Structure 1
Amino acid sequence: MKKILPLICLLLLALPTLAQRTAKDLFISGNQKFKAGKFAEAIQDYNLVLSVEPKHTITLTNRGVAKDRLQDHKGAIADFNKVIALDPTYLEAWFSRGLAKYNAKDYRDAIADFNKTIELDPKQARSYNNRGLARYAMKDFRGALNDYNKAVELNPDYAEALYNRGAPKYNLGDKASACSDWTKAKAMGVKEADAYLKKHCTTLTAEK
């Protein structure tokens, strides 16, 4: 199943004047290391930024995402908790915490966080997609299907949601529609769809 990962934020809020240039440089360096997959090194830079401004929500969020990529889900959630305490309307923190909880297999609490992101912005297709992942993990196939339908409704070119939608359709007995979604997802560049097509859809193709 394909999840949409949170994006690291690239803006830096105002920092104390004497430390501003250094903090900005460290923030930029941390983001560059994050993009290169050097998550531990990125965290070191974010730590230094936070030593200057411990309530800097964007850096806290980015550090949390980096921790989550290193499978430190507990540490990631702690960072997102701090951000949400500072700014309860910061959607990225709720979204990222939901994903960290999903990665930690805490599906029920992940759904609660994705519910909040949808409350903050009902047109966030990625929130429906990721809530669908959590519902699918709990074997709520109908709920997952409803979420993927909404994600595709909001963004018809959402390849990952089309790919993900195939699984609950298949589990609910709608094999033809599942194979149709996987075919579309493959055409849109989701390589993982090919395995599902070969495993579940060859008989259907032969029947036609």
Structure 2
Amino acid sequence: MSSKLVEKGIESCRNGAFGKGVSFFTEALESDKNNVEALYNRARALSRVGKLQESLTDFKRLTEIDSSNASYIGDYAVSLHLNNENDSASLAFEKALALEPNNPYRYSSRAFFKDRIGDLEGAIADYEKAIELDPEDAIALNNKGLVEEKLGYQDKAKKSFDKSNELVGYKPENKTEPVNSPTPTDETSSKQPSRGQVIKSIFTKDGFKDFTEFSKNLFKGNRGKK
């Protein structure tokens, strides 16, 4: 019974109905209070609907259940950061990374955190480590380019964007077009998918796994047109 409710919750979240997903996960936990899958997914979904304190409560319980689970700790770190508890978030990111030192996502997630708190050079270093571990990580390359751009490293940013574009199969119609050019018409957009659309189509192949990755909104706009 509870497993079917979890499946319904996951499907709801895949479709963007996170509030409905929370309801299914809660119902599953009422049926089986020890259903860790329901608890984990509810914690993630709660963060997406802005109920951060409730999300933190669930994540804290998860880390108490399994203190060596890097996924629990890493997502807990995200929720802590979203709740402006950055000192605690930093410690949680470090712990998750220590548990999975060869997982590129651990470096990418910490890099995004560092970017948001203003440690731009630290963010680049973490993205570079993520790319070293996974040279085909188009997301990390794009995000690194965004940080390099903030720091004024235009040549480096262009290289990062170009490599990321190459990996996802995105080919700007005019590579010399400035970033702040007028928004294309609907007719043009229908012919040439935006870089964000290309990235999103790749992200969603892994389904629910990706729905809480806080880097998912970094691809608004065509940052590859350099």
TM-score band by shorter chain is 0.7 to 0.9
The question of 1:97 aligning with 2:76 is answered yes
> What SS class does the counterpart of residue 223 from structure 2 fall into?
helix
How far 1:194 moved relative to its partner?
6.0
Aligned pair count? Answer: 178
Once residues 88 and 125 of structure 2 are traced to their aligned partners in structure 1, the CA distance between those partners, rounded to angstroms, is 19
Q: Where has structure 1 moved over 6 Å in runs of 4 or more? A: none
The question of 1:116 aligning with 2:95 is answered yes
Give the letter for the 2:223 counterpart. Answer: Y
How far 1:155 moved relative to its partner?
0.8
Once residues 71 and 11 of structure 2 are traced to their aligned partners in structure 1, the CA distance between those partners, rounded to angstroms, is 19
Q: Compared with structure 1, are the counterparts of its residues 119 and 175 closer, same or farther at alpha carbon in structure 2 (3 Å cutoff)?
A: same
How far 1:158 moved relative to its partner?
0.9
How far 1:26 moved relative to its partner?
1.3
For residue 12 of structure 2, what is the aligned residue in structure 1? Answer: 33
| CA offsets 1:70-95 (integer angstroms, 9 cap, x no match) | 12122111110011111111222111
Once residues 52 and 3 of structure 2 are traced to their aligned partners in structure 1, the CA distance between those partners, rounded to angstroms, is 26
Counting aligned pairs with the same residue, the percent is 22
The question of 1:127 aligning with 2:100 is answered no
| CA offsets 1:139-197 (integer angstroms, 9 cap, x no match) | 21111111000110111111111011113323444220111112222332543386435
| CA offsets 1:35-67 (integer angstroms, 9 cap, x no match) | 122211111111122113223222111001111
Gapped regions of structure 1 (runs ≥ 5): 1-21, 202-208
Structure 2 length normalisation: TM-score? 0.72
Q: How does 1:176-191 map to 2 (within 5 A)?
A: 176-187=155-166, 188=168, 189=170, 190-191=195-196
RMSD: 2.0
For residue 53 of structure 1, what is the aligned residue in structure 2? Answer: 32
Give the letter for the 1:141 counterpart. Answer: L
Gapped regions of structure 2 (runs ≥ 5): 171-194, 197-218
Structure 1 length normalisation: TM-score? 0.77
